Amino acid sequence: MAHTMRVPLLCAGFAAAFAAGLLANRLVPQAEAQSGPPPLTPQIINLFSMTDEEIGNLVPNTDLRSRTLVTTPDGTVAVQSGNVLRHYHADANEIQLILQGEGSFWLGDREVQVKPGDLIVIPRGVAHAGSRATTGRFRALAIKLPPQRAGDTVPAPAP
Domains: count for the chain: 2
**Together in a domain, 16 and 60:** no
> Measuring CA to CA, how many Å separate 62 from each of 10, 66, 87, 93, 112?
71, 11, 12, 21, 21
Sign of CA dihedral 123, 70, 47, 51: negative
Contact indicator for 131, 63 with CB cutoff of 8 Å: no
Contact indicator for 48, 99 with CB cutoff of 8 Å: yes
**Together in a domain, 8 and 58:** no
**Together in a domain, 11 and 71:** no
Q: What is the pTM of this model?
A: 0.74
Collect all residues with Cβ–Cβ distance below 8 Å to 141 and sequence separation of at least 6.
47, 77, 78, 79, 80, 96, 97, 99
**Together in a domain, 20 and 86:** no
- Report, as an integer, the average pLDDT of 48-57: 95
Does some domain include residue 62?
yes
**Together in a domain, 78 and 2:** no
Band of the pLDDT at 19, cuts 50, 70, 90? very low
Q: What is the pLDDT of residue 124?
A: 97
> Measuring CA to CA, how many Å separate 42 from each of 18, 39, 45, 47, 69?
48, 10, 10, 16, 12
pLDDT at residue 23 tops 90: no
**Together in a domain, 66 and 140:** yes
∠ Cα 89 94 95 (to 5°): 160
Does some domain include residue 12?
yes
Does some domain include residue 38?
no
**Together in a domain, 117 and 150:** yes
Distance of CA 157 to the CA centre of its chain: 25
Domain that holds residue 7: 1-29
pLDDT at residue 104 tops 70: yes
**Together in a domain, 78 and 24:** no
Does some domain include residue 46?
no
